[in-house]
Amino acid sequence: MTVSRRKFLQWVAGAGIGAMSAGTARAAHGVFEGYPGSYGVLHDTTLCIGCRSCEKACNEVNNLPAPEVPFDDLSVLDEKRRTTAAAYTVVNRYDEIEDHNRPVFRKQQCNHCLEPACASACFVGAFTKTPEGAVVYDVSVCVGCRYCMIACPFDIPAFEYDEALTPRIMKCTLCHPRLLEGKLPGCVEACPMEALTFGHRNDLIAIAQERFRKYPGRYVEHIYGQHEMGGTNWFTITGAPLEQIGLRTDLGTIPAPEFTAGALAIVPMVIGLWPVLLGGIYAINRRKEKIAQSEKETEVDQAVTATRGEAEAKAKAAAESFKKQKEKAVESAVKKALAEAEKNKGKEES
């Protein structure tokens, strides 16, 4: 089966165009502000008393394994904790905050970003941003590559490293199944201080700003999650400096998928142009080789002709001189013979 170059290049071009049109055509300057009517949670750390009721409720609602230390043991707050394969959410205590004579508590869990890095990174599309606002995980396709954990700027997803054959990614689901039933997320329902306010994303922003207005000086007037990483569905408002309670302020407002959009966009370009470039180089090289070959042949021909001509001339000259020599020899032989004959004749007469 011979594939002509022309055919091959046509295939490649077709593939390139196909890839471009099927690709993630995302407007570079578009802003996604969330599905309309999507829900979120506002966490007010000035109300959080660090009772861990939310952790307990999350554990029960999601049928997570019982913890080593029971939830009413508040001594675990002495250490900073992060989400684990058995804990979708943790509360941390932050002491020695400036201008605060009490420690500050903050609950952390998946922030359910508007444009989740995990969903963008997953190469089997195991994460979905639902219209309700929750970012949910489909374990039925997960390969366990853990790229989502690399991508998440908040370091939230956890992995069941102790499972040999069926390890899952574990993270907060915003109790999406309960949301579909019209119920509240487990943690929200359990919080006695209503430090977790559930509602539509826009309403939560209004609530936060109302609190800023009502209690000037109590809060750092910034809704964390409104714009971070392109915006999330989980907000945190606090009276403590954000960095001091473990909230990174250097994440920027660019949504994570935009960071890799450029690199992915180049793929069709390479597919389309590289074969042209390389094929061209190959063709030029072949042409050069051919020219070099034919030049060589011409030279060889010329050299052969020249040498032949020389040889012929030589042979001719040699033949000529041989002929001359022969004639001379014949002549001298004849002369000699004549002289002999004359000599013989003279002898006979005497």
Partner 1 sequence: MAQKGILSYRRILPVLILAVLSGLFSFYVIGCGPSQADYVEKRPDIIPLEAMKQFGDLNRPVVLFAHDLHTEAIIADDTGTVCLQCHLDISAESSFKYMRRTDEDAETVMNIYHDNCLACHQEYEEAGRESGPLICGDCHLRETVYELSVSPLALDYSLHQRHVVAAADSCGICHHVLDDEYAEVYGDDRIVEGVSRGVSGPLRSCRDCHLEEAVEGVRSMRQAAHGSCLSDCHLDNEPRLATCGSCHDRTRQASFATMENPPRLWAGQPDFMLVAPGAGERNQAKLGSVPFSHVGHESFTSRCRSCHHVSLQPCHECHTLAGSPAGGGVTLQRAMHDMNSEHSCVGCHEEQKAGADCAGCHGLMEQGRLSDHACQICHAGPPPINLADVGGRYNSLDDFRPARAEMRLSFSEDDIPGMVSIDILEDQYGPALLPHRAIVESLRRDIAANRVATHFHGHEDVVCQGCHHHSPVGQKPPLCESCHGEPFDEGYIHIPGLYGAYHRQCIGCHERMNIEPGRTDCEGCHIKKKPGEKSL
Partner 2 sequence: MADMPAAAPAKRSILTPFNVIAALIVIVGIVLTILRFTKGLGAVTNLSHSNPWGFWIGFDLLTGVALAAGGYVTAASVEIFGMKKFHSAVRPAILTGFLGYSFVVVALLYDVGRPWRLPYPFFVSQGVTSVMFEVGACVALYLTVLFLEFSPAAAEWLGASRLRRLLVRLTLALTILGVVLSTLHQSSLGAMFLIAPSKLHPLWYSPYLPVFFFVSSIAAGLSMVLFEGTMAHRYYADRMDEEHMAEREGVVFGFGKAAALVLGGYFATKIFGIALGNNWALLFTPYGLWFLLEMFGFVLLPCFLFAIGVRDRKMGLIKTAAVITVLGIMLNRLNVSLIAFNWHLPAAERYFPSWMEIGVSVFIVTMGLLVYRFIVTRMPIFFTHPHYRSGSHGEK
Choosing from 7, 80, 213, 335, the residue that interacts with partner 1 (CB under 8 A) is 213
Residue from 20, 17, 44 nearest 245 by CA: 44
Binding partner of 262, given partner 2, partner 1, none, CB within 5-8 angstroms per partner class: partner 2
Choices 80-88, 201-209, 306-314, 325-333; region in contact with partner 2 by CB under 8 A? 80-88
Our finding on whether 216 is near partner 1 (CB under 8 A) is: yes
122-128 own/partner pairs: CB under 8 Å, 24+ apart: 122/147, 122/148, 123/147, 126/169
Token pair 């030589």 is found at 314
What are the structure tokens assigned to 286, written together? 């072949």
Choices 14-22, 48-56, 124-132, 335-343; region in contact with partner 1 by CB under 8 A? 48-56
Q: Are 234 and 110 in contact (CB under 8 A)?
A: yes
How far is it, in rounded angstroms, from Cα 115 to Cα 260? 13
How far is it, in rounded angstroms, from Cα 154 to Cα 230? 13
Instruction: CB nearer to partner 2: give 80 or 343.
Output: 80
Choices 167-175, 214-222, 240-248, 253-261; region in contact with partner 1 by CB under 8 A? 214-222
Instruction: CB nearer to partner 2: give 11 or 215.
Output: 11
Binding partner of 207, given partner 2, partner 1, none, CB within 5-8 angstroms per partner class: partner 1
Contact pattern for partner 1 over residues 49 through 88, marking x by CB under 8 A: xxx----------------------x--------------
Our finding on whether 206 is near partner 2 (CB under 8 A) is: no
Where in 144-183 is the site for partner 2 (CB under 8 A)? 144-147, 149-151, 153, 155, 157-167
Residue from 122, 116, 119, 112 nearest 172 by CA: 112
Q: Distances from the Cα of 213 to the Cαs of 47, 124, 206, 226, 274, in angstroms?
A: 16, 45, 10, 17, 59
How far is it, in rounded angstroms, from Cα 59 to Cα 53? 10
Where in 248-267 is the site for partner 2 (CB under 8 A)? 248, 250-252, 256-257, 259-260, 262-264, 266-267
Choosing from 217, 250, 263, 345, the residue that interacts with partner 1 (CB under 8 A) is 217
Choosing from 14, 221, 243, 282, the residue that interacts with partner 2 (CB under 8 A) is 282
Residues ≥6 apart with Cβ < 8 Å to 288: none
Q: Are 240 and 43 in contact (CB under 8 A)?
A: no
Residues ≥6 apart with Cβ < 8 Å to 201: 34, 38, 39, 40, 133, 233
- Chain residues binding partner 2 by CB under 8 A are 1-3, 8, 12, 22-24, 82-85, 117, 119-126, 141-147, 149-151, 153, 155, 157-167, 248, 250-252, 256-257, 259-260, 262-264, 266-267, 270-271, 274-275, 278-279, 281-282, 285-286, 288-289
